A and B are shown apart, each in its own frame.
Chain A
Amino acid sequence: NAGVTQTPKFQVLKTGQSMTLQCAQDMNHEYMSWYRQDPGMGLRLIHYSVGAGITDQGEVPNGYNVSRSTTEDFPLRLLSAAPSQTSVYFCASRPLQGLSPLHFGNGTRLTVT
């Protein structure tokens, strides 16, 4: 089982560049989410989705866009990268109902110079 797959693992961008972090899951989970991890701040929710065509903002959505055209995929777009977006990004999914835990991808380390 692949679980949650994130690509790329590492990325370096220059200020102002745009890019898309890819996330795919093969567990048919309705709920998908993106977190960013920064030292001393834990993981903070950027955006989430409860199904295809439905997305909503989390705690720190500014500078990021998401879409959910299929159940499997939930890409995160950085529109114009800024040094403040240097972070480790995690995609995670779970069934919408019940107490199943979040299944995390292995993260993307993004550096913006």
Chain B
Amino acid sequence: AQTVTQSQPEMSVQEAETVTLSCTYDTSESDYYLFWYKQPPSRQMILVIRQEAYKQQNATENRFSVNFQKAAKSFSLKISDSQLGDAAMYFCAYRRGLQGAQKLVFGQGTRLTINP
């Protein structure tokens, strides 16, 4: 079974600085997709960024980027110019393939605090 591990239960960063959240996963599949979700105190689950495993280029969405190391099965999230609104739980997630009922497997989460 696929597993996703986030080894940092909590992280903190000064406002305007850069922080990197770690995620590793275990799979024997070649076709899969990786996601980062943000959960602010409102409890809403918000998709931050996604990466297709077949793409070598790292995904980027404004201040959010990933470092996807396929051989190492690592998928870290970098947040640049941290803002107070970035404070949230962040979940890494894995999905095998595009067809049918492939479930989303989540990591344990990392709680990010932004210090003003």
Contact = CB atoms under 8 A, between A and B. Distances in A.
Interface of A: 31, 33, 35, 40-45, 48, 50, 56, 58, 88, 90, 92, 96-99, 101-102, 104, 106-107, 109
Which of under 10, 10 to 19, 20 to 34, or 35 or more describes the interface residues of B? 20 to 34
**Interface of A, helix, strand, loop or mixed by DSSP:** strand
Interface of B: 4, 6, 9, 33, 35, 42-45, 47, 50, 52, 91, 98-101, 103-109
23 contacts: A40-B108, A41-B108, A42-B106, A42-B107, A42-B108, A42-B109, A43-B91, A48-B101, A50-B101, A88-B43, A92-B45, A96-B100, A97-B98, A97-B99, A97-B100, A98-B98, A99-B50, A101-B47, A102-B104, A104-B44, A104-B45, A106-B42, A107-B44
Contacts of A106: 42-44
Contacts, number: 55
A48 B103 contact: yes
A96 B101 contact: yes
Nearest to A101: B47
Contacts of B109: 40, 42
A101 B43 contact: no
Contacts of A31: 101
A65 B47 CA distance: 28
Nearest to A104: B45
Nearest 9 CB-CB pairs, A to B?
A104-B45, A42-B106, A43-B106, A101-B47, A107-B43, A42-B108, A50-B101, A45-B103, A42-B109
